[in-house]
């Protein structure tokens, strides 16, 4: 079972990386083109009669993002807190995109159970210091390393409960927060 869990976790990281590559610098908050629909009512409840369709309501998987500050001095730290909405067992990726850079790779990945994995992304303005994960949110600590402007965003991939049989794996992203580091 452990190998199976590891296999699916690797696939999740691959999917998150692919999603992050398709978000051109987090120019806007990614949303679903077509919202996932879930039947309303009690779990396991069937619509009445063969002609009665279930009433559907939209699900909007995304990540809410907060920063402890938007301006800091070189050497100071800030915290970025990401909270998943409608995403279960999330795997997060932090993306930092410096001003003037078109594409940015994820800097670090954090799983729902706290596994922190450094990735190939980097920033010349902020450096990753640490990550603390709870089931409901993840907090990234970043340090200013040189003056400049950068944006920070988070992508999360995890389980989306649609109310239909089975669980779907899907991702959601945050908007971005602009951070300025000064002397």
Average pLDDT over residues 35-55: 49
Does 45 map to a domain?
A: no
Average pLDDT over residues 118-122: 95
Query: pLDDT tens digits, residue range 95-107?
Result: 999 999 988 999 9
> pTM score, two decimals?
0.69
Percent of the chain with pLDDT over 90: 51
When divided into structural domains, the chain yields a total of 1
Please classify residue 29 by burial: count the beta carbons closer than 10 Å to its beta carbon, then call 0-12 exposed, 13-18 middle and 19+ buried. middle
Position 171 scores a pLDDT of 81
Position 99 scores a pLDDT of 95
Domain span at 61: 2-28+56-182
For residue 176, the domain's CATH number is: 2.60.40.10
Position 29 scores a pLDDT of 39
CA dihedral sign, ordered 20, 23, 25, 27: negative
Does 174 map to a domain?
A: yes
Does 75 map to a domain?
A: yes
């Amino acid at each position: 079972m452990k190998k199976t869990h590891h296999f699916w976790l690797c696939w999740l990281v691959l999917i998150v990386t692919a999603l992050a590559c398709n978000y051109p610098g987090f120019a806007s908050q990614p949303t679903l083109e077509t919202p996932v629909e879930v039947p309303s009512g009690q779990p396991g409840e069937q619509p009445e009669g063969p002609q009665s369709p279930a009433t559907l309501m939209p699900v909007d998987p995304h990540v809410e993002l907060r920063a402890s500050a938007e301006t800091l001095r070189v050497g100071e730290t800030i915290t970025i807190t990401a909270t998943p909405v409608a995403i279960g067992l999330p795997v997060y990726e932090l993306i930092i995109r410096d001003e003037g850079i078109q594409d940015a790779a994820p800097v670090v990945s954090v799983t729902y159970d706290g596994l922190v994995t450094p990735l190939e992304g980097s920033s010349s303005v902020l450096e990753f210091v640490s990550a603390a994960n709870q089931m409901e949110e993840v907090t990234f600590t970043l340090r200013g390393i040189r003056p400049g402007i950068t944006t920070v965003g988070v992508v999360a991939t995890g389980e989306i409960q649609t109310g239909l049989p089975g669980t779907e794996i899907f991702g959601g992203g945050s908007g971005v927060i602009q951070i300025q580091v000064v002397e």
